[in-house]
């Protein structure tokens, strides 16, 4: 958690630091990311940085568990609880793609929880985030079963397979759709024009069809 001083900072200064940190951690792995770079680019002396955060991990953890999820929720909004299960799944997927296209760097950080690393604290952090995501998806799927949308002999296995489809799988598909590398996308602020709402709906629908009926549908 950031130190109290951080929250007392002038907005402009704090924002500069946060944006540069998001940029750095989106473009590089935790291990590759450099505090010195973040400090330099946000024009905040390293000594000052340590007035705001305990250390590199403290900043990274705050971004992954607080700042990024907050912004993601704000963007994605609530997927209506009143709808049919398959529609909700499709909405979830469409919103996920929208987030990726409109806020690529936040989306990348959001996905960073799947990154491998030898640093044990980071691994623990990543694992906790992954498990939370799995749990959320699992509860959605449980409601799907309850509503009779489908049956699953092993909901754990099903959850994990669906999770990889709507996570890395769809990211892969979207990047191919955009005809761009992840790092090109990260450098761009918005790819609205190249993957608008209509096309996203089509892709989301295809994905749901695949999850629902597989290849043989």
* Contacting positions for DNA (CB under 7 A): 4-5, 8-9, 13, 33-37, 44-48, 50-52, 55-57
CB of 130 to a copy of itself, least distance (A): 9
CB of 26 to DNA, least distance (A): 15
How many Cα atoms sit within 13 Å of 123 on the Cβ side? 5
CB 94 within 8 A of CB 80: no
CB of 3 to a copy of itself, least distance (A): 28
Picked from a copy of itself, DNA, none, the partner binding residue 51 (CB below 5 to 8 A depending on kind) is: DNA
Task: Count the neighbouring beta carbons within 10 Å of the beta carbon of residue 126.
Answer: 19
Number of residues counted as binding a copy of itself (CB under 8 A): 50
Binding-site member from 12, 78, 81, 118 for a copy of itself (CB under 8 A): 118
Task: Rank residues 8 and 176 by Cβ distance to a copy of itself and give the closer one.
Answer: 176
CB 181 within 8 A of CB 187: no
Site string for a copy of itself, 140-179 (x = CB under 8 A): -x--x----xx-xxx-xxx-xxxxxx--xx--xx--x---
CA 166/CA 140 separation, integer angstroms: 13
Binding-site member from 3, 43, 73, 183 for a copy of itself (CB under 8 A): 183
Q: Tell the residue number behind the tokens 């529609």, with chain if given.
A: 87
CA-nearest of 48, 55, 69, 68 to 6 is: 48
Q: Tell the residue number behind the tokens 């790092």, with chain if given.
A: 183
- 77 near a copy of itself (CB under 8 A): no
Task: Rank residues 10 and 216 by Cβ distance to a copy of itself and give the closer one.
Answer: 216
CA-nearest of 141, 159, 137, 160 to 150 is: 141
Residues lying near a copy of itself in the complex (CB under 8 A): 27-29, 31-32, 112, 114-119, 123, 127, 141, 144, 149-150, 152-154, 156-158, 160-165, 168-169, 172-173, 176, 181-183, 203, 206-207, 209-217
């Amino acid at each position: 958690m950031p130190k109290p001083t951080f929250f007392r900072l002038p907005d402009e200064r704090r924002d500069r630091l946060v944006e540069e940190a998001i940029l750095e951690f989106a473009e590089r792995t935790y291990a590759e990311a450099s505090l010195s770079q973040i400090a330099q680019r946000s024009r905040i002396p390293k000594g000052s940085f340590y007035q705001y955060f305990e250390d590199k991990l403290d900043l990274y953890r705050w971004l992954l568990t607080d700042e990024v999820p907050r912004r993601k929720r704000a963007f994605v909004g609530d997927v209506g609880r009143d709808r049919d299960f398959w529609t909700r799944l499709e909405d979830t997927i469409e919103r996920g793609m929208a987030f990726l296209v409109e806020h690529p760097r936040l989306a990348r950080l959001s996905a960073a929880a799947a990154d491998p690393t030898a640093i044990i604290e980071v691994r623990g952090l990543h694992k906790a985030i992954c498990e939370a995501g799995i749990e959320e998806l699992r509860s959605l799927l449980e409601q799907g079963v309850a509503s009779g949308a489908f049956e699953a002999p092993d909901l754990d296995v099903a959850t994990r397979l669906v999770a990889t489809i709507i996570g890395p799988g769809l990211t892969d598909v979207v990047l191919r759709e955009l005809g761009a590398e992840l790092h090109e996308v990260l450098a761009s602020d918005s790819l609205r024009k190249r993957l608008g709402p209509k096309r996203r709906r089509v892709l989301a629908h295809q994905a749901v069809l695949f999850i629902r009926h597989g290849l043989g549908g």
